[in-house]
Amino acid sequence: MSQRNSGHKFPVRSTLILAITGVTAVILPLLLMRIGIIDPYTTRIITMGGINAIMAMSVNMIVGITGQLSLGQAGFLAIGAYSCIFFSADMGLPLPAAVLCAVLVTAFAGFLIGFPVLKLSGDYLAIVTLGFGEIIRVVFINLKTLTGGPNGREFITAMVLNFELAFAVTTIVLIVVLALLQNFLRSSYGRAIMACREDEIAANASGINIFRYKMIGFVIAAFIAGIGGCLYVMANGFVQPKIAEFLKSIDFLIYVVLGGMGSMTGSILSAYVLTYLQEMLRFLQDYRLLIYPLILILVMMFRPKGLFGMKEFSFVGFFDKIGNKFFRRKLNEVKQ
């Protein structure tokens, strides 16, 4: 009976800790913004860091979890952004409905592209996904009636006019996506996908349909990228076809490599750090572009698996460690 109760209490306790951590991550920066400690420029950088973190999770879902190399996630970002504008501005749908439709369209695009693409692997898969991103960019440049051509389209929302709202929405979505993704990876589907990553032959011998689970991972990654695309255009109020270019996908891949392939929390941390670092070094002009390669060289030399490797940062474990140290200190004081 006691074992049942303890097993029942643990999920409630861990969920409570995670909920408090998530609320603090939103409320505390908002308070600092209100009293002027965090200025609007920094708020915008943090918001872009959150969007980049969502895209880093999307790439990590393919590269770190599924074990495939994709260089076309920026194409899904562009599909999500332009679809959001189309359903909201052109079709007249309410913004939440437009976002939902845009994300589903992006996921469906991932499903269609996944069929021919996932039959390849390694360098061949990377080349095909790279070509997909370039095709999306060229198509959006020429669809001037829908995309505005190379000049792009404006999309003014409340998030554009209110930086604090943009931060709050982006951070809440990031936390929800991370929580859902972590739960999925702990499920039987997630473990099957990771089994395909580790050893396809052994997974196939265990009765796992390799292509099916790779497809699930690819579609989920496209779904998350669609969310990132919607947030991107809603926060910036403007989008151009060049966001689908190859270098944008490389930026997202760098976040994953630095944070650790397979570690969602590591990718999120590196996305925030590199986004802020890029803005902080803007005074170096084009020379700041040398920073990313230098960071990657150092990481490959001294930490080949990234900052977190394949481990995840545990908020529950962190609080337990702090609590144990606190109680040990109190116990020592009592003994003395």
Candidates 228, 220, 297; CA nearest to 258 is 297
**Residue 303: inside a domain, yes or no?**
no
For residue 282, being part of any structural domain is answered with: no
Crossing angle for the helix pair 40-60 and 210-236, to the nearest 10 degrees: 170
Which residue carries 């970002």 as its tokens? 77
Q: Is residue 301 part of a domain?
A: no
State the Cα–Cα distance between residues 51 and 48, nearest whole angstrom. 5
**Residues shown for the chain:** 336
CB 260 within 8 A of CB 63: no
Q: What is residue 332's predicted lDDT score, i.e. its pLDDT?
A: 63
For the four alpha carbons of 95, 238, 163 and 59, in that order, the dihedral sign comes to: positive
Rounded CA separation 306/264 (Å): 12
pLDDT, mean of residues 142-161:
88
Range of the domain at 164: 41-245
Instruction: Examine residue 201 and state whether it is found in any structural domain, yes or no.
Output: yes
* pLDDT tens digits along 76-123: 999 999 999 999 988 989 999 999 999 999 999 999 988 888 877 777
Q: What is the pLDDT of residue 19?
A: 79
Secondary element (H or E) of residue 153: strand 153-154
Which residues are paired to 239 by β-bridges? 153
**Token code pair at residue 198:** 């580790």
Find residue 153's DSSP bridge partners: 239
pTM given for the model = 0.89
Domain count across the chain: 1
Residue 3 pLDDT grade (very low, low, confident, very high; cuts 50, 70, 90): very low
Token code pair at residue 126: 């990377």
Task: Decide if pLDDT at 6 tops 60.
Answer: no
Tell me, yes or no, whether 291 lies in a domain: no
Residue 290 lies in a domain: no
On whether residue 67 sits in a domain, the answer given is yes
Q: pLDDT-based confidence at 36, cuts 50/70/90?
A: confident
Residue 5 is predicted with a pLDDT of 43
Which of these ranges, 6-15, 232-241, 257-266, 282-291, has the smallest mean pLDDT? 6-15
H helical segments located in the chain? 2-34, 40-60, 73-85, 95-117, 122-142, 144-147, 158-161, 163-186, 188-198, 200-205, 210-236, 246-259, 264-280, 291-302, 315-335
What is the token pair recorded at 227?
Answer: 């969310």
Buried b (16+ CB within 10 A) or exposed e, 6-37: eeeeeeeebeebbeeebeeebeebeeebeeee
Tokens of 130: 């790279």
- The string of pLDDT tens digits covering residues 269-321 is 999 988 988 888 777 767 766 777 787 788 778 887 777 777 777 766 666 67
Q: Whole-angstrom Cα distance, residue 125 to residue 70?
A: 7
Torsion angle of the four alpha carbons 93, 95, 101, 106, in this order, in degrees rounded to the nearest 10: 130
Domain assignment present for residue 253? The answer is no
- 163 pLDDT exceeds 60? yes
